[in-house]
Amino acid sequence: MKTNQPKYDYILLLIVSVLILLGSVMVYSSSSAIAQGAMTEAGRKYSSHAFFLKRQLIYFLVAYLAMYVAARFDVERLRRLLWPLLLSSSALLLVVFFAPVTRGTHRWLPLGIVSIQPSELFKYILVLYLAHSLSQKGRSLDTVKNYLWPYGPIILGGALLILLEPDLGVVLVMGATVIVLFYLAGARLMHIGAAIGGSAAAVYTVVFVFGYRKTRVLDFFNWVADPMQAPYQIKQSILSMANGGIFGVGLGDGIFKQFFLPEPHTDFIFASIGEELGLWGLLLTLGLFFGLLWRGLRIATRQPSRYRFLLASGLVLCLGVNICVNIAVALGLIPTTGLTLPFLSYGGSSLVVSSAAVGLLLNLSRQRVGAEG
């Protein structure tokens, strides 16, 4: 018997699956030399050349489980779970400061053989909170006090904790997502302009007054004035992609991943793709990301309620801004931020949480206005 019940957006699922598979291949290719020859902080070598791949495959399975659960979960029920989720994710932002320092930061919370990054979870819970709150009847954004309460303490409190980790990259993604969500919810342009100006002033204060990544930012500006003064990370990233040419040097044959390109399997995996798969590999990657965001926006515009529209839009914004920032860093367009590339970079938190976000988009893809066009 035939049914008119809308189906999942299987094109979106296919795009994400290809990205995750590509990411798994590139994680192994770009990390095998490091895993085989690098020393850990304890002075021991990694267990094998496939050390990072083995962990990534575990994250791969968890990511698909998270995607499945999110795709099947009642999105209206999420509203009833909002406060427990918001409070628990906020608590994790506090707990992380009691965890051991990793790479000079408090970004990760170790849980046995894996670690989680609470800020990755918080930014998506924040999207859920804003979608719920901004869609409530009678909610007005006409005056400044309506932003200060109830949004101010939650947004600024979370941003401050993440800044203290420190992780300015996630804060930038959150800030851009929040501002656009307020605009979509009907905020006045002068309020949006004030928010952008305030955010710019806050970033300036954090960098040039408190000194967070000040040297890195100044090095970037020096490079803009004189290309020969490029920061080491950006220089190696651009040289890596240039070495790949049009068709790449071949999968597994990259040179720069062998201790020349910093973080070739995480922050700069886009550069690793450029070296080994060439311009065509980069264009394929960009095409997949474009397809993901296009399908996500298509889902958002077809939602039957304000809450679902804002939720879908926020999820796409979070993913889109993160993708753009990471790629812009790899291309030397902005200073390095430490953000990973969703679905491609090594790491469990980003992969699992991003996959759960796609799961919610797949869930929402079954709720649309009108018939398929």
| β 109-111/114-116 pair status | antiparallel
How would residue 38 be classed by pLDDT, with cut points 50, 70 and 90?
Answer: low
pLDDT surpassing 70 at residue 39: no
Residue 51 has pLDDT above 70, yes or no: yes
Which position has the higher pLDDT, 187 or 48?
A: 187
The yes-or-no verdict on residue 190 having pLDDT over 70 is yes
Write down the pLDDT at residue 135: 93
Question: Does the predicted model carry a pTM greater than 0.85?
Answer: yes
**pLDDT score recorded for residue 40:** 47
- How high is the pLDDT of residue 191? 87
pLDDT at 185 over 50: yes
pLDDT of residue 37: 63
pLDDT of residue 205: 86
Other C-beta atoms closer than 10 Å to the C-beta of 216 total 15
Q: How confident is the model at residue 46 (pLDDT cuts 50, 70, 90)?
A: low
Buried b (16+ CB within 10 A) or exposed e, 26-64: bbbbbbbbbbeeeeeeeeeebeeebbbbebbeebbebbb
Mean pLDDT of 39-54: 66
Q: For 351, what's the count of Cα atoms within 13 Å in the CB-facing half-sphere? A: 27
Rounded to whole angstroms, how far apart are CA atoms 285 and 293? 13
What is the arithmetic mean of pLDDT over 70-83?
92
Give the dihedral of Cα atoms 254, 260, 264, 266; nearest 10 deg.
180
Between 5 and 208, the more confident residue is 208
Least confident of 41-50, 287-296, 339-348, 354-363: 41-50
| Mean per-residue pLDDT, 67-92 | 93
Contact 168, 199 (CB under 8 A): no
> Residue 139: CA atoms inside 13 Å, Cβ hemisphere, count?
18
Query: 243-286, pLDDT tens digit by residue?
Result: 999 999 999 888 988 878 888 999 999 999 999 999 999 999 99
pLDDT per residue as tens digits for the range 198-209:
888 988 888 877
Question: CB under 8 Å to 75, separation ≥6 — which residues?
Answer: 308, 311, 360, 363, 364, 367
Structure confidence at residue 368 as a pLDDT band (50, 70, 90): low
Q: 185 vs 83, 142, 305, 309, CA distance in Å?
A: 21, 11, 12, 10
Average pLDDT along the chain? 88
Domain positions in the chain: 10-364
Average pLDDT, stretch 178-183?
Answer: 95
Please tell me the predicted confidence (pLDDT) of residue 1. Answer: 42
The size of the chain, in residues, is: 373
Give percent of the chain above pLDDT 90.
58
| CA within 13 Å, CB half, 180 | 19
Section 180-193 average pLDDT? 91
Q: Over 70: is that where the pLDDT of 3 sits?
A: no
The pLDDT, as a whole number, for residue 94 is 94
92-100: average pLDDT: 92
Q: What is the pLDDT of residue 7?
A: 85
Q: For the residues 313-321, what does the mean pLDDT come to?
A: 97
**Which of 131-135, 221-225, 297-301, 351-355 is predicted with the least confidence, judged by mean pLDDT?**
221-225
Which range has highest mean pLDDT (13-22, 219-228, 330-339)?
A: 13-22
Please tell me the predicted confidence (pLDDT) of residue 281.
Answer: 96
According to the model, what pLDDT value does residue 364 have? 96
What is the average per-residue pLDDT within 19-24?
96
**Model confidence at 184: pLDDT above 90:** yes
pLDDT at 148: 81
